[in-house]
Chain A
Amino acid sequence: MVEARTPFASFYACELDPRVRRAFLLTGSNEVANDVVHDAFVALYPRYDSVDHPGRYLNQTVLNHCRNLARREGTRRRGLGRLAGSGASVEAEVDLLDDVLATLPFNQRAAVVLQFYGQFSHAETAAALGCPVGSIGPWISKALATMRRELR
């Protein structure tokens, strides 16, 4: 991303959508997701021309916001109430996985969302979460193991 910088407006237009969707998956709220991402853009705007990787900067800011929110909420333990009623419908499947996902610690949840939805590499995920690359694999393994156990 060292090539000529696209104007901020274009960058915003391209980047808003995927970022809000990822934030939505992490926060579970459209309103919060839009707020979190917009605050990150607000923070980015004055330094857009000076930061090396605006996309990475946004990722970090958004993830930090989400982490702070998650920390305040505590890990959601919504239980698996929907498990019993889960038939074959798509909605049930989505709700089910969402519920299980919600019980994971933030870093594991974020790593799972970024990898399986955002198609992030481990390096990108690590940069966004501000952690060593080596942490990502174990987090995802742990997350998947927990989810398998919960889903059994």
Chain B
Amino acid sequence: MTIDLQDRLHNALTQRARQAHPIADLDGVIAGRRRLVVAATGPAAQHRRYRSVAWLGAAAVLALAIGGAWMAQRDDHAITIRAAADPGTPRLCAVFLVPIATPAQAEAVGAVLTAMPGVSRLVYMTQADAYREFVALFADRPALVNSVSQSVLPSSWRFDSTLEPDQTTANLAPLRADSSVYETRCGTNPGELAGGVVDVEGAMLTTPTGHTGTSGSPDAGSSLSTGEPGR
């Protein structure tokens, strides 16, 4: 070892740092767009920018976990539709599927959403993604994280809607006609959607009123690969 390790480290780190590609997004920062949703590894990281919606999903679980009553009811194929919007930005929407939804069911919903006007940046989030997101969001609350397993987290479709909430709701009506859908909500901010409100990191979160969960079928939906047909 002719060169001191400290110099080697400096050289190697400097070299490695050249491979970094900072991407400026001042507008996003000022608009308060959170990006750290699924920061684990690989393709899942593409779900950044959907943190607002992630809050809804995580809040659903939080509320469910705390509420305790969520195991009482169970509708295996129910889909919750929620939408939220930050003022001045495209409205962030999510269609949550029940934890045991099959990939086929998820794809069917995705197909409907793909065909829907005003929908962009459609992304499918598996239960595994949802769990990573959940763990990241509540990293400072280990007790909560430990109380929730991946199998109870809903997979979901995430998308931006350029339409008004009412219009989005109307467009989602076909999904509601499906027996698998039992709730549709749209709003201009997450708080508006709330059946109950939880404060996490200063964010208003919604509490689902009739969301269902199950500990069965941990693999449901998680094998579906992510895709972004809206991009």
Contacts and interface: CB of A to CB of B under 8 A. Distances in A.
Given A29-B45, A39-B34, A69 B17 contact: no
A85 B166 CA distance: 61
B36 A117 contact: no
B35 A117 contact: no
Interface in B25-43: 25-26, 28-30, 32-37, 39-41
A124 interface: no
A135 interface: no
B158 to A, nearest CB: 15
B13 A36 contact: no
Given A29-B41, A39-B34, A39-B35, A13 B24 contact: yes
Nearest to A145: B5
Contacts of B46: 31
Interface string B130-142: 0010011001100
B179 interface: no
A30 B136 contact: no
Contacts of B139: 68, 71-72
Given A34-B22, A34-B23, A68-B136, A97 B39 contact: no
| Interface of A: prevailing SS | helix
Contact of A116 (B6, B39, B41): B6
Interface string A54-69: 0000000000010011
Interface residues of B, number: 41
B48 A31 contact: yes
B36 A36 contact: yes
Residue among B33, B36, B46 with most chain A CB within 10 A: B36
Contact of B20 (A21, A45, A71, A113): A21
Contacts of A136: none
B16 interface: yes
Nearest to B30: A45
B40 A72 contact: yes
B19 interface: yes
Given A68-B139, A69-B40, A144-B5, A97 B12 contact: yes
A12 B16 contact: no
Interface in A32-77: 32-39, 41-42, 45-46, 65, 68-69, 71-73
Given A72-B136, A116-B10, A38 B35 contact: yes
B26 to A, nearest CB: 5
18 contacts: A12-B29, A16-B24, A20-B23, A21-B22, A25-B20, A29-B41, A29-B45, A32-B39, A34-B23, A42-B29, A65-B39, A68-B136, A72-B132, A73-B40, A94-B12, A94-B15, A101-B9, A117-B14
